[in-house]
Structure 1
C-alpha cells in the first residue's frame, strides 16, 4: 500500500513511519497543505490512501480535502483531528473524508482503520469493475425494490418514488443498502461499523451518526424520510408508511 500522510507534527509522522514500515507500506509525508496538494497532484493515481490532519499551515485540512476530491472521488481519506465536535466531523465527511480519528490516537488503532478502509475500498473497486462488464439489461435489475424505494448495486444508484437520491458517497450507499436489505430490522452503530467500515467497535459511533445525518439530508431532497432512529439502539430502514 502507498500512503500519503499529511501531518504538520513531525513527531507524529516519525512515530507512524515506524508502524508503516513494519506493515511494509510505502509512505510519503507532507507537513503543510500547500505541499500536500503538490505531492498529491504530481502523481494523482499513485495513492492507495491518505491520512489528513485538519490543522495544517498554509492551507487547512478542510480545503485540502475539498481540492483532492475535485481530482479523485475514490481515494480513501482518513481525517486526523484534535477537534472533537460533531460539526467538524460532519463537515469533514461532507468534504469527502471516509473516516476520522480523533487525536490523541493509538497508532495501532490508526493502522486498523487504514487496513479496514483499504480493504473496503478494494472490495468496492472490484465490484465496480465487475459491474462495468455486465450488459445493460443486467444493470437494470435492482437488488432492492419495494415499489417506493429502489437500489441497484451495479450502478450504485438508489431512488425514492422514482427520484434519484443525489451524490451518494460510497459509505452512504453502503449504509443505505445495508439498512434497506433488511427493512424494519434495527442495526446498532457497532453492527454498522463492523459491516460497512470493516473494523470492530472502537467507541467512535459518531462516525455512523455523521454519515446517517448526511444520508438523511440527501434523501429528504427527493422524497420522504425512510431511515428511522430507534433511540438507545440504532437505525432502521422503513418505508411502510410512505
Structure 2
C-alpha cells in the first residue's frame, strides 16, 4: 500500500512495529538515526516518514526541519516520550503532520498511519469535483497539492495544504479551531487545538515571504479563522 520510512534507534521497537506495518500491507525501510534517515529520503521517495524524536547524531526534530527546508512534503509522524517535547515541537514550527506519545499501542500507531495516508489519498483521488481553488492571487492545485501566491510556489505540508484549502474554498466563512483540525486532518483523533495556531502561523510566514503585506488569513477573536474575501 505505502512505502514507509521508520527512523528509530531502538532495534526491538523497529522489529515490532515494522512487522505490524508490513502485516497491514505497507513496505517498511528503517534507519537507525536521523542522519541515516535523511540520506534515505534523498535517495528514494517515501509515502510516509515515522521518526523518533530522541536519537543520536541527528534527532527527529532536526530531521523534520531539514526535510521541510528541502521542500520535501512527505507526511511525518513524530514519536515522542514526553508531552513537553510536543510543546517544543510546536514552538519550533517544524512541520510535522502528526505525533504519537510513547508508550503507545501498535493499534494507535497503525490508526494514525492509516488516517494520514487516507488524507493524502483524498487529495489525489479522481473523485475530487474540482481541480483547483483560486481566490485573488492565491491558487491551489488540488491534484498536485501545489500552492502559488502571486505566481510564486509555496511549499506546504499535507496538513497545511488542507487547512489552507478549507479556508480559501469558503472565503469569509469563520471556522473554529476544532473544525479546521477536523477538515485538515480528516480523522477524529484527539489533539490539542493549539496545533491550528501553529499551522496558521507557518502558513502566514510562508505567504508573507512572497508578499510582506499578506493579510488573507484573518483571526476572528473568540471564534477562529477565516480567509478574507477577494476585493
Contact 1:3 1:26 in 2 (8 A): yes
TM-score norm. by structure 2 comes to 0.75
Contact 1:79 1:92 in 2 (8 A): no
* Structure 1 residue 192 displacement after superposition: 2.3
Match of 1:117 in 2: 116
Match of 1:205 in 2: 193
Mapped to 1, the partners of 2:178 and 2:206 lie a distance apart of 23
Q: Which runs of structure 2 are paired with 1:114-193 in the superposition (5 Å)?
A: 114-125=113-124, 143-145=133-135, 148-153=136-141, 156-159=146-149, 162=150, 164=152, 166-193=154-181
SS of equivalent to 1:24: coil
* Structure 1 residue 13 displacement after superposition: 2.9
* Structure 1 residue 182 displacement after superposition: 1.6
Match of 2:216 in 1: 226
Bigger Cα Rg: 1
Deviations 1:27-77 (Å, cap 9, x if unpaired)? 233222333345445x513x3211011211122223333454577724322
Alignment CA distance shift 1:85-1:20 (3 Å): closer
SS of equivalent to 2:94: helix
Deviations 1:169-196 (Å, cap 9, x if unpaired)? 4433322221122223222333223322
SS of equivalent to 1:51: strand
Match of 1:12 in 2: 13
Q: CA RMSD in A?
A: 3.3
Deviations 1:68-90 (Å, cap 9, x if unpaired)? 45777243221222343434235
Contact 1:226 1:238 in 2 (8 A): yes
SS of equivalent to 1:180: helix
- In the alignment of these two chains, the number of paired residues is 221
Match of residue 228, structure 2, among 209, 228, 238 = 238
SS of equivalent to 1:187: coil
Structure 1's unaligned 5+ residue stretches are 131-138
TM-score norm. by structure 1 comes to 0.72
Contact 2:4 2:47 in 1 (8 A): yes
Contact 1:184 1:236 in 2 (8 A): yes
Match of 1:133 in 2: none
Mapped to 2, the partners of 1:219 and 1:153 lie a distance apart of 16
Alignment CA distance shift 1:25-1:143 (3 Å): closer
